[in-house]
Structure 1
Amino acid sequence: MNNQNEKSINNHLGLLFIMTALLSACGGGGDGESDTPAPIATPTETTTSTDTTTTEDPTPDPAADSTSLDDLVVDADNKLESAYLLTIDVDRVSTERGYFSLCDNYQAQGDGYSVNFDSCLFRGPLTDGQLNKEVKVANHESQLIAVIWFYEGQAPQFVEWQYSQDSDTQVLTMN
């Protein structure tokens, strides 16, 4: 190895060491307040002349914000998944050449749609008028637009699709 390569490697290693030291010195940080969690609202006690009873305060304390993952409550039927599978099923009787686009950024305009094709989640050609594909879609994407473009100059075909909470499987069909 020549001297110039050794200097370059040593410079890179030195820089890496300094960056590591700086990052570890930063620590968790914070705003100067205590790291102890905020107090959680507790039941209030009411004393009567003969006994002590405990009743719960029906209004939550707005100052008692959750401060850790231990405070997180997840519904039992939540699958904790960040995406779902969408099955695309295109089966056109016509064998005209076409191209399929699935996008999330669009607006209805009169009888048609204005689609931002930079927002497409999937694009692909139709083969003999057909396309069967599974696409992973982020959970926050609940409304999409499917567009089939034809090579022979025909007007594009649009289909709005919406996530169905009533079904375990999500399918977009275009015929």
Structure 2
Amino acid sequence: MRTATIALALLTTPGACAAAGPLRGDAFVIDGDTIKIGGERIQLYGVDAPEDWQFCRDETGADYQCGKKAALALEAFLSASRPTRCRFAGRDRYGRYIGACFRADGKDVNQWLVESGHAVSREENHDKGLYAAAQEMARSVGAGMWRGQARAEGSNHVAEE
């Protein structure tokens, strides 16, 4: 609940993209942390999923495409309750909206990605990130990419943290 309150506070500050308003529609998954609604690309705020080309190691040490798996899991999650609604906190350096998104049933998409182990909490301003508690929970139960080894930034493979 604290995470949702913080996210809403961040997304309703004067610097938020109030002119754009919330965006609602069927989401098309670009990758594990980016979606598109109505022609607008949206980077999911506070999360970082492996890229499509990245590999992770499972509990046996075998490689698997965790980036591709994250994108497929996000597609399945969003498909279960459409449409998707997003609120924006601004734009990133690539011109994409940065936002928190919710399924039609109200479930927080950003939080789910981290809780399910398909993304990590993005560190912002040297803190542990908005979804740090969700990440620790996912890690403790071995969810998603935490079942083996977490990924290393900029690496084709994951490394033990």
- Structures share a fold, TM > 0.5? no
Name the TM-score, length of structure 1 as normaliser: 0.19
Name the TM-score, length of structure 2 as normaliser: 0.20
Q: Which has the larger radius of gyration?
A: 1
| Structure showing greater relative contact order (alpha-carbon pairs closer than 8 Å, 6 or more residues apart) | 2
Q: Which has the higher strand share?
A: 1
Q: Which has the higher helix share?
A: 2
